[in-house]
Structure 1
Amino acid sequence: MIPQIPERVRTVQNWAGRQINRAQQFIRSASISHSEPEDLQLDTNQQVQASDGYFFEQFSQPQPEEKESDTDTGQLTIVKLSINDNKERIQVFQDLYVEALYTIVHKVGKSSALPEPQLCKYVQNAFQVDDGLHQKLLNRAKKEKPPIVLLNISLLEARDLIAKDINGFSDPFTMMGIVPGSRRTKANDSEAGNGEQDEADEHGHETPPLSPHSQKQGNVLHRFGGSFRRRIGSKKSAKTEAKSIPAKYIKASSVQYKTLNPKWNEKFQFIVDDVSTDRFHMDIWDHDDEEKSVLDAVTSLNHITGLKGLGRYFKEVTQSARAGSQDCTDDFLGCVTMKLKDVPSAGCEDWFTLEKRSERSEVSGQVRLKLWLSTREERIDQQDDDLMDVRQHIELIRQFALHEIRMSGAPVSFFNGQLSDPATTILHQHAIQGDLTELHQSMCQWLAYSAMINIGISFSFLYDILSRLISKWVPLALDKDEENTLTESFQAFDDYCKKAMMGHRTNVSTSKRTQLESFSNMLRCWKLMRESPLYEKCLPFQKSFDYDINAILQKSAEEYFRHVIKHAEDNENPCKELYQVIQTLNKACAKMHKFDPIFKTFTDINYGLITYREFDRLLDEYICSEMMSEKKDDLKTLMMTASKTEGDNEELLITILRVHFAAQEFRQYRLPRQKYRLDKSDWGQIFDRAIVKWMDIARIKAFGRVELACQLDATIQIASSEIRHTSSYVDVCHIIDQYLAIWERMNVSDVILRADLTEKLVQCICKIAEFYVDRVLAQLATDGFCGQLQAFIPSALINLFCAAVNNIEQVRRSLVVTDKLHLDELLEQYEQKTQQKAQWKIEVESELDRCDKYLCEQIECTIDKLARRQIAILKKHVFHLAWSPSACPVEGALKPLTDTLDAELSAVHRTLLHRNFVRVMHAQVNILLPLFDECIEENPGLEPVFYQRLYEAWSVLTDFFHAGGKGISLETFETIPAHMELVSKLALNQMSTIRIIEQYYKNLLKEQEMASDEVKNDVSECKYGILNVRAYYNSNSQTLVVDVIGAKQVIPLDTNGLSDPFVVIELVPRLRYPTQPVSKTKIVSKSLNPIFDETFEFHIPPKIPTGGMVHFIVMDHDFLRSNDFAGEAFLDLTEVPGFGTAGVANTLRQFNLILIHPSNSNKGMVDVLASRKEDKEAQNFIRTLSVAY
């Protein structure tokens, strides 16, 4: 081995020298080709593409996106709230602030537990007011005159009242009023000098009122009746009645006759002096039709003035009661008392249980009341504006919402109306004090939030607000001014939506889900508003929503087209202008599939159809106008010039093709089964000529790129992978991909021309691939991978080898282009037009297959060259394997061989593509198969154990190359003829002689059965004739009886066209029946259908050996020469009655056996047996065959 070391060193040095020369050449070529500084910054692939001015990429690279609106209102946030320096605006701002503080200071009703300072602090933060101004405005709010508190009562109904009349019913009516608080009552009583007690004791306990019949004394507030009645003739009361009226503004309801479940639905309002102490009280009485009633007396209560009027009122009330004593029927039906401080700020509606006035009263049932508090302001300089409370509520909602959004830091569109507890409390109090109903509050919310559209308020949130407003609205619920305010709001929202619809193609980015959702919600909210009865009331006599949308879409398409024309105007090159126009329209059409589902969800409008029809009409009018232009370089002249075959007008040609691609893309957006105006234009011939011209130029450009890519070839490293590649394969694959991508976009109007160009395209692509492969392999040979390779190869050369075959494999993969060529579709169009069978498709597919085969062969040849350098080493390992001691395990004997194979595979498995790695395995298998076969051929007739060892070794190697499914698949092994032949040969050689003989006869029996099946199925004729026999086995005498009846259609073997047939009968295999004689029938002369009718007996045991059968050989007798073989047939003993389950003994069964001739499929068995010279049984079998055949 020592003398070989200098040679290896010299080889490595030579290879390294060639690499240095190649690097110098590369540097020089790169310096010459790219002398400009900016080009030096480009990588290799970009330099190749830039070499021809991006000839291919200019058609496929996406055009710059149209700049969309930078303002996405859905992402706006509020950083700071401020007002301008306008004094009037500042004054309005401060007035609103005072209103908020005034609302807090004068809270009414039972509300949240938030303290007043906390609410004031929230208002200060929401309005962003400093402490000084806050204190000043707070003092101003406190100085304002407090509001007048009002108690609102809605008397709805009662149920289960007690019956007072003899008819089993009552005629109920109610009396209600406000009972003053204890402090004020005591003060009044003290001043009057009376000693009457408070209605409620110090613990607040109340006593039910007495009947008007009762003469019992009671103090002023002892009961509701006592609050305004005194004992008749009382002087004390006469002294005090001018100073205070015990119960203010007592009111009565209407009478509901003959019912125990009255329904009133009446409303009352009372002025409250002190919410914290005053109480609401209500009595229910039974009305008496016959006498002057309490109800009649109460009707004049509000007109009482002074002592005289009040005394008359007491008298009327007293006389209204029925005449009688204490035993008389009481007209009292029950009463209800409630402290006003317990009334929730939101009001309450409930069933109240009626209470007794005394233990003797009979009371039952409940009354349903709705109570709520409100205020009426009488502040200084209060303007007489009915909408003041509404406007203030709107401004407060808006101010609080802006504050909440600012504090959250989230975009405005995220706001869903959720306000903090202080804001909710303040707005609730303001609604109460302003007596704003739920409808008014919903209206205020809509007016407040709809005015925030421009800063990005969510339309989904607006939809919920509007839905609430519409659901609460009923006719006549709003006054004229309020309806006018809503009308202005609806009109403003209508105008905003129309404006948004007009500019949606420019302002709405379909790539942003949030903007699409916002547009969809806007349309949904707009539809809800337009189709609501409230909108119809405010803005009557409007056209339908779908009609307006349709009109807006048409108008917006027209305005968009005018905008496109204005920005694309180019007086010097009408072709470029046309391209820009169509390309911009395509961008708008590309958005149609995003907008169309939105419009279909909320309208019955086909957005895509309306938009495309308008664009089609406008574009057709524009093109007609340009084509009829009389300018020097008009559109028609330029297009005709560009499509001419002669002349150097590449730039104009490219522009024409861009127009073609843009027009083709525009056609893709049309809907099927529709007629369009652009269909009438005839540009096909101009574009076809331009495409033909471009194909010629593209071929030259492509080959130029391949040449440059090979010159600038450099190693590239794919991230997270050790697979070797060079930059040139990227360029070549990119060229092929670009070529096909451009071809897919081209639409050749002439079908015949397109078929020709398709064939021309495929030829060009294949030539490019083949040219590149030749260049790559030539460069690899230059680098040292050539001639007879030595066993040792430097790792650098291995890497170059891997890169080369990987590059070729990548290019081969890029040639899978059948789908991109749409051959089936083109073939159908071609044959439909020409009415003849097309051959070009077959030629195209053949060209691709031929190119693929060529590339595979080049890869396999290169890999085979790498693998064959180890033939000598592998042959030595196979020899040592074959002659290793039998005591040595097969795996141990194989280890040197597998180590060599594994070392070779390990050197390349990380740097090769998987397909190429498997090819290396294939190459090793293809080397080992002849070596194993040679070992068998050189050592014939040895003991079966020798071949069994080789068989096991090859099985181990098969698993080695299979590699658990990562290498050569087992199915692939079965497709390798040499592998199948080797396995078969080893399997035969390792079998014993008797097993080979048995298998030989089994194969012949199987061939006979197949021939019989073919004759039965009329697949083929009986070629050699039929032998008719009968047979059975007598188990008692252990005798096989065979009756040879005759034969039919025996082949003629004599010159006279006949034969002299006879039959030889023997039991086979002879090794299993060595003592059984060979029998013959008589000779039937000159016959092709002989009748023998002879019986033969064979004494054999009932146990049938493996493969046991009767062998019939039909021979032609010849006096002068040896007998001729006419055919043979086999009868399986298992089919003979008497053996096993074949049938009952002593029963002859006829068998019609098809005569056959032995085929070459058994030649391998015969050869193996013939090679066993020392095996007597094998040689006897061979002699038997030679005699028979």
Structure 2
Amino acid sequence: MEDPNEQGTNENNTFENAQEEDISQSPSETNVEETDVNNDNVTNTDTQVEANTGSLTDMNDSETKSEQTGYTATWKQGSLGQEKDLRANILERMKSMESKAQDEMWQTFFESRKNAETDNRVQEIDGNFFERFGSRLKENQENQKVKDEKDGILEDMMVQSNVEPLQAASPKEMITTVIGWNIDELYSEILYEVLHIVGTDVAAQQVQLLEYLQEVFKLDSEKHNALLEQVKTKEAPNILLNVEVIEGKELSPKDANGLSDPFCTLFMSSSTVHRYNTSVKSQTLSPRWEEYFSLPVQNVKEDTLHLEVWDFDPAETVREKVSRISEVKGVKGLRKFVKEIAVTASTGKHDNELIGIVDFPIKDIPSNGQTIWCSIHKKPKAKRQGVLRIKMTFGSEKNCQVATQEYKHLVRNLLLYHLEKEKIEPYYWKGEFDILAQTLIRQHVAQSNLSPTDQSLAEFAEFVAVHLDHPLSFTVFSNLLDHLIDIYPSFNEYQVKSFWDSAKKLLPSCFSNLRKLRKSIPNDEHTLTQLSALLSILSSLSQKPIPAEVDLLPDNIYGWIVTPGQNDLHITLKDAVSQGAIDWIDCIIDQNKPESNEDEAVLVNRIKIVQLVRTDLQKAIDHHDEIFKQIMQFPYAATLFQVYEPKMVELCQPLVERLCLQLKPINMSEDSYLNPTEDPLSVSTGTSLFELYLSLKKFYELGKCDKEEVRIHVWFFQAVVNWLDIAQYKALQRIDKAIELDTLTPVDSSVKYSSSAVDTLAIFYQIKIFWEQLAWPDVEGCFTFVAKIIDDMCRSCNHYADKMSKKVDYVQSTSMSNVFQVTPEVSIIVYWNDTLGSINRHVKRFPSNS
């Protein structure tokens, strides 16, 4: 329960904000002089009364202008039949009023009157009727958003706990299963590679690698030592250095024409007799070869690749050389030309001329290979003679399929060991191994002649296999697929099959996570990263045609697909999102049953469900929708709305229409408003209906529907009519109570009017808030309601003036000396002067807001 004093404080704060708003929007043009109600000098009261009386009595020519009794009688003669004239006169009168000074006084007053007891007593007479529909409901709606987000997360967690939970086996159990495959042969092969490390990994400590390998495969020392001794008896492997000579640039010219005819010679320092030559590229200093060679490595620790670049000089006679004198360029070229002729004339031949050389020690080449630009020189520290770009990788004569199979099991064991040792949570491994594991992987690739394509496909297959039991980060697969899709056109038949087999195993996890997206915290960075990677996987796979023989989306796994057998990832994405939304809302409805079959309980239940659905849609718009659109061009939030909207209509429309038909009209005569014929459930039901209307309205606003198609306001038309009828007599009741509690003393030193004026204006302010929240979309209905609201306000003004005049007469007749001196004219004039300006500004906004 809320503290009544606290309610009054909140109410006055809200009212004060409205006054500040009015100050900024009040009209500035006026030529009419007004009474300065801030003047504390009461000696001029008669003059002020006379001036104000004159201005007010202009509203009706038939009224007496000078007599106090006539003035009072004028207001007593007011009747319901004069309300329309009164409304017109009020609006005309207020057009010329200066409002800024009045608003400033209202603001000062409310600041000092936040905890006034009379406020709460006035509100309690009708159970805070106007506040429940006005400021308090508005505050509740604003506060509900934060609460709904928290409740929504809890509801999501409860729902997801009942839908296909993931069962992840421990890494230790998976390792036990995996290493049962041909363990001795695989372990011996890895030991053999550790004992014969190639490349820069030679510096790695062999003892650490052997101990690490034993831990990974979980072998006891006896078994490990026995296999190690067997491996040591084997001969060293036949390691190959695969070299691609790609291109050269800025080579030194060796011919008289300023160019060269370059070619390359390659050989190992341990076998100088086995030389390999590239083709000759004629008359160029920027040759491009792109030629491949495989050179046997005899000693990985001592061998060196030796590469020479030569200028080819064909065998020509002196006459043939002289015939090319026109090609000579420059003095330097002429000298070379003369030298060539002299050598040919004396020896009858001309040898190829060395341009430059470069050496690569095998131990300095990374075990996973490298592509580099290198400078060539004739002698150490001599001037550079040009640059070459070459690619070097290690290989072997091992069968490709055997190497791939061994690599798959090595990677899986290394990964499972890493997950267990580091205790990595599901979806958090991003593809990074420790240093020793990386060394083992590089050595196996180098010594097994495994191509980059086969390596990537093997990793794809094994990462997916582990992912099914211990989910890995989806970024691992999105990065792998980025590379595989680029090289997909070069796949052979076996590689294509391997690719789609792995993709088929991965997709159920992708779509399952999409359906359970609500289980994650929506604004969590890790969640958004995983979602982006997951959608990138679908985007990459959708770029390539699915082979006809591949059943990528089998019916036994994807039973929720609306149109099975299409193998279309975009259609399946829509089905997954829709089915996830259906599962979620069905569970929400099932887990949130009404506390009873009473209409009020059912209404409260519907409000909660709509708020939860609206919150889910808001989270989708705020955090996920843009990601879906950017990566998959998929309208995520719109798809959710298409699922939710029919459910909301099914749940709410029959209930609302039935309750609206049951609301009884308020029968109230002019003299019997204190005891009208009222349905005791009208107020509580009306409040809940209005709250449901606001929730549905915000839900449809999020869906961005065509306003002409959205007709939910029609369901609530009778409820609004009923509420306005109730508000009319509640206002009269509250005004009577406000006047009863009014002590006719100034509410603040800065003003000279009493509490009942403020309480009356507060009623109109709450009605204004109600109307702004209602935001009725139908123009015709809007003006109908506006007309009624203004008529009811004018009737309330009439009622207040009549009742206040009677109270002032009574006070004067009893000669209460302890009350400040005030005449009926002063009380009524001050009220109309100081209060109706704000009333007018609230009232005149209704048509524009609609």
Q: TM-score, normalised by structure 2?
A: 0.54
Measured against aligned partners, the alpha-carbon deviations of 1:944-1000 in whole angstroms (never above 9, x if no partner) come to: xxxxxxxxxxxxxxxxxxxxxxxxxxxxxxxxxxxxxxxxxxxxxxxxxxxxxxxxx
Equivalent position to 1:600, from 626, 640, 657 = 626
Which residue identity lines up with residue 509 of structure 2 in the other structure? Y
Aligned pairs for 1:280-429 within 5 A: 280-285=305-310, 328-333=349-354, 335-354=357-376, 364-377=385-398, 385=402, 387-392=404-409, 394-396=411-413, 398-399=415-416, 401-403=418-420, 405-406=422-423, 411-429=425-443
* Structure 1 unaligned regions, length at least 5: 1-48, 182-223, 228-246, 292-321, 628-634, 689-747, 775-807, 853-867, 869-922, 927-1189
Task: Measure the CA separation in 2 of the matches of 1:595 and 1:477.
Answer: 40
Does the residue aligned with 2:396 lie in a helix, a strand or coil?
A: strand
- Report deviation, 1:132: 4.6
Change (3 A) 1:846 1:386: farther
Task: Measure the CA separation in 2 of the matches of 1:538 and 1:251.
Answer: 46
Change (3 A) 1:84 1:525: closer
Does the residue aligned with 1:481 lie in a helix, a strand or coil?
A: helix
Which fold has the larger relative contact order, with Cα–Cα distance below 8 Å and residues 6 or more apart in sequence? 2
- Report deviation, 1:108: 0.8
Measured against aligned partners, the alpha-carbon deviations of 1:221-247 in whole angstroms (never above 9, x if no partner) come to: xxx4xx3xxxxxxxxxxxxxxxxxxx3
- Report deviation, 1:525: 2.7
Contact 1:155-1:267 at 8 Å conserved across structures: yes
Aligned pairs for 1:473-492 within 5 A: 473-492=486-505
2:198 alignment counterpart: 108
Q: Does 1:840 align with 2:809?
A: no
Change (3 A) 1:680 1:366: closer
Task: Measure the CA separation in 2 of the matches of 1:601 and 1:502.
Answer: 16
Change (3 A) 1:600 1:349: closer
Change (3 A) 1:147 1:773: farther
Does the residue aligned with 1:591 lie in a helix, a strand or coil?
A: helix
Change (3 A) 1:285 1:832: closer
Does the residue aligned with 1:69 lie in a helix, a strand or coil?
A: helix
Does the residue aligned with 2:499 lie in a helix, a strand or coil?
A: helix
Does the residue aligned with 2:366 lie in a helix, a strand or coil?
A: coil
1:529 alignment counterpart: 540
Task: Measure the CA separation in 2 of the matches of 1:389 and 1:768.
Answer: 91
Measured against aligned partners, the alpha-carbon deviations of 1:203-261 in whole angstroms (never above 9, x if no partner) come to: xxxxxxxxxxxxxxxxxxxxx4xx3xxxxxxxxxxxxxxxxxxx3xx433223234343
Count of residue correspondences: 589
Contact 1:178-1:279 at 8 Å conserved across structures: yes
Task: Measure the CA separation in 1 of the matches of 2:615 and 2:795.
Answer: 38
Contact 2:404-2:450 at 8 Å conserved across structures: no
Aligned pairs for 1:686-1085 within 5 A: 748-750=719-721, 753-761=722-730, 818=765, 822=769, 825=772, 832-833=783-784, 838-841=790-793
Change (3 A) 1:653 1:830: closer
- Report deviation, 1:129: 5.0
Task: Measure the CA separation in 1 of the matches of 2:801 and 2:427.
Answer: 59
Q: TM-score, normalised by structure 1?
A: 0.41
Task: Measure the CA separation in 1 of the matches of 2:477 and 2:760.
Answer: 56
Task: Measure the CA separation in 2 of the matches of 1:144 and 1:438.
Answer: 28
Contact 1:172-1:257 at 8 Å conserved across structures: yes
Which residue identity lines up with residue 486 of structure 1 in the other structure? F
Which residue identity lines up with residue 684 of structure 1 in the other structure? F
Task: Measure the CA separation in 2 of the matches of 1:417 and 1:466.
Answer: 13
1:883 alignment counterpart: none
Task: Measure the CA separation in 2 of the matches of 1:607 and 1:823.
Answer: 34
Task: Measure the CA separation in 1 of the matches of 2:598 and 2:414.
Answer: 57
Task: Measure the CA separation in 2 of the matches of 1:684 and 1:343.
Answer: 79
Measured against aligned partners, the alpha-carbon deviations of 1:383-434 in whole angstroms (never above 9, x if no partner) come to: 954632552454255235414632xxx6455544443322322222233223
Q: Does 1:611 align with 2:636?
A: no
Does the residue aligned with 1:254 lie in a helix, a strand or coil?
A: coil
Change (3 A) 1:817 1:550: farther
Which residue identity lines up with residue 513 of structure 2 in the other structure? A
Change (3 A) 1:105 1:386: closer
Measured against aligned partners, the alpha-carbon deviations of 1:101-127 in whole angstroms (never above 9, x if no partner) come to: 444223111237331122233334455
Does the residue aligned with 1:387 lie in a helix, a strand or coil?
A: helix
Which residue identity lines up with residue 749 of structure 1 in the other structure? V
Task: Measure the CA separation in 1 of the matches of 2:218 and 2:699.
Answer: 54
Structure with the higher helix share, 1 or 2: 2
1:273 alignment counterpart: 298
2:66 alignment counterpart: none
Task: Measure the CA separation in 2 of the matches of 1:843 and 1:348.
Answer: 92
Change (3 A) 1:95 1:757: farther
Contact 1:156-1:368 at 8 Å conserved across structures: yes
1:496 alignment counterpart: 509
Contact 1:77-1:411 at 8 Å conserved across structures: no
Does the residue aligned with 2:720 lie in a helix, a strand or coil?
A: coil
Which residue identity lines up with residue 415 of structure 2 in the other structure? R
% identical equivalent positions: 18
Q: Which moved more, 1:672-681 or 1:419-428?
A: 672-681
Which residue identity lines up with residue 467 of structure 2 in the other structure? M
Contact 1:150-1:374 at 8 Å conserved across structures: yes
Task: Measure the CA separation in 1 of the matches of 2:574 and 2:803.
Answer: 57
Task: Measure the CA separation in 2 of the matches of 1:390 and 1:111.
Answer: 18
Equivalent position to 1:457, from 467, 472, 476 = 472
2:94 alignment counterpart: none
Measured against aligned partners, the alpha-carbon deviations of 1:571-616 in whole angstroms (never above 9, x if no partner) come to: 9959677875674354133121221242224414444333223322
Task: Measure the CA separation in 2 of the matches of 1:445 and 1:384.
Answer: 14
Measured against aligned partners, the alpha-carbon deviations of 1:120-171 in whole angstroms (never above 9, x if no partner) come to: 3333445555545544554565566653211111112234556666766554
Which residue identity lines up with residue 158 of structure 1 in the other structure? G
Does the residue aligned with 1:176 lie in a helix, a strand or coil?
A: strand
1:666 alignment counterpart: 696
Please provide the CA RMSD for this pair: 5.9
Task: Measure the CA separation in 2 of the matches of 1:362 and 1:474.
Answer: 41
1:152 alignment counterpart: 242
Change (3 A) 1:148 1:325: farther
- Report deviation, 1:833: 1.3
1:584 alignment counterpart: 609
Task: Measure the CA separation in 2 of the matches of 1:814 and 1:445.
Answer: 75
Task: Measure the CA separation in 1 of the matches of 2:800 and 2:404.
Answer: 84
Task: Measure the CA separation in 2 of the matches of 1:589 and 1:94.
Answer: 60
Task: Measure the CA separation in 2 of the matches of 1:338 and 1:508.
Answer: 53
Contact 2:311-2:353 at 8 Å conserved across structures: yes
Task: Measure the CA separation in 2 of the matches of 1:157 and 1:555.
Answer: 56
Does the residue aligned with 2:200 lie in a helix, a strand or coil?
A: coil
Contact 2:613-2:644 at 8 Å conserved across structures: no
Measured against aligned partners, the alpha-carbon deviations of 1:268-316 in whole angstroms (never above 9, x if no partner) come to: 112223222333334555557669xxxxxxxxxxxxxxxxxxxxxxxxx
Contact 1:277-1:340 at 8 Å conserved across structures: yes
Contact 2:249-2:285 at 8 Å conserved across structures: yes
Task: Measure the CA separation in 2 of the matches of 1:103 and 1:766.
Answer: 96
